[in-house]
Amino acid sequence: MDDNIISKSKALLKDCDAVLIGAGSGLSTAAGIDYGGERFQRHFPDYIAKYGMTDMYSAGFYPFASLEEKWGFRSRQVKLNRYDANVGDVYLKLLDLVRHKPYFVMTTNVDAQFERAGFENNNIFAMQGDYDNFQCTVPCHDTLYGNESQISAMVAQQKDCRIPSDLVPYCPKCGSPMMLHVRIDNSFVENSNWHDGQQRYSEFLDQFHSKKLLLLELGVGFNTPTIIRYPFEQFSQQFPQTHLIRLNKEDARSQGELKANTLLVQDDICQWLNKLAES
């Protein structure tokens, strides 16, 4: 990675009054939580053979014939990426980078890596939910239900890509099937905790938008660009002292004109963090 990028990144981090982190799936991929490739092949050979699946992301939309099959896949996916995955070194290094400044995290990731790495819970808004909860599919109410023990039982007892019928989760109030608290459609529950997170995000922007705010966008692609990618570009244009560092291994381009010392880095997040840590 160009040393000039590192020196500019270091200067922007040192000079800013606060850091707003926007994190997408590319950051967790850099942490080793890869939804495709060798990792997928190693953990899902039976699903590849039976259903022709190619990666965990697209497999999440597979039209399973039964809830037993659906939860066979989902439980293994959640256990692997939420409960069994180690805290990624990139998250620990990122925390070291920002912990001495006011910071806030807006993330579309649902694996709780920020929380598990030690970022303050009140400084995180996981807008798309978290793998560790069930919700009603209707939804008839907005209560969320922790699922670690149920997910573990599903993984332990599944056979031929199916879980036993008595492990299929149903809503305790209306009897409808449960789903993961992950945004896939309009049934996603936005309860009081979700709205509290949204409010804290707004308050952080209100507090620092007129100061030297650094927008640190990491691994955000084009699946949901209206949540982080496009707003961060708009913030950079609208807020007078705000600057953007965007790291994206696939596409770091901007939709419009940005400030002269904005950094659009199409390179590896791990290398960037490692070099900053060394310096």
**Along the 279 residues of the chain, how does pLDDT read in single tens digits?**
788 999 999 999 999 999 999 999 999 999 999 999 999 999 999 999 999 999 999 999 999 999 999 999 999 999 999 999 999 999 999 999 999 999 999 999 999 999 999 999 999 999 999 999 999 999 999 999 999 999 999 999 999 999 999 999 999 999 999 999 999 999 999 999 999 999 999 999 999 999 999 999 999 999 899 999 999 999 998 998 999 999 999 898 887 777 777 899 999 999 999 999 887
Q: What is the pLDDT of residue 258?
A: 72
CA atoms of 255 and 237, how far apart (whole Å):
11
Q: What is the pLDDT of residue 29?
A: 96
Q: What is the residue-wise DSSP string for 105-145? A: EEE---S-HHHHHT--GGGEEETTEEEEEEEESS-SS---E
Structure tokens at 205: 């922007």
**Judging by DSSP bridges, how do beta strands 213-218 and 18-23 pair with one another?**
parallel
Helices (H), the chain: 3-15, 25-30, 37-43, 45-51, 56-59, 67-78, 89-98, 113-117, 148-157, 192-208, 229-238, 269-278
Structure tokens at 193: 């905790």
112: left (phi over 0), alpha (psi -120 to 50) or beta: left
Per-domain residue ranges of the chain = 1-33+87-128+190-279, 37-84+130-187
Give CA separation, 112 vs 81, 89, 108, 120, 192, in Å.
9, 14, 10, 12, 19
Q: Mapping DSSP to helix (H, G, I), strand (E, B) and coil, where does residue 169 land?
A: coil
For helices 3-15 and 269-278, what crossing angle results, to 10°? Answer: 70
CA atoms of 208 and 273, how far apart (whole Å):
24
Separation of CA 170 from chain center: 26
CATH class of 37-84+130-187: alpha beta
CA atoms of 252 and 12, how far apart (whole Å):
18
Q: What is the pLDDT of residue 197?
A: 98
Q: Pick the closest to residue 215 from 194, 198, 192, 237 (CA basis).
A: 237
Superfamily of domain covering 1-33+87-128+190-279: TPP-binding domain (3.40.50.1220)
Structural contact between residues 144 and 62, judged by C-beta atoms closer than 8 angstroms: no
Q: What is the pLDDT of residue 38?
A: 97
Q: What is the pLDDT of residue 254?
A: 86
Q: Mapping DSSP to helix (H, G, I), strand (E, B) and coil, where does residue 268 land?
A: coil
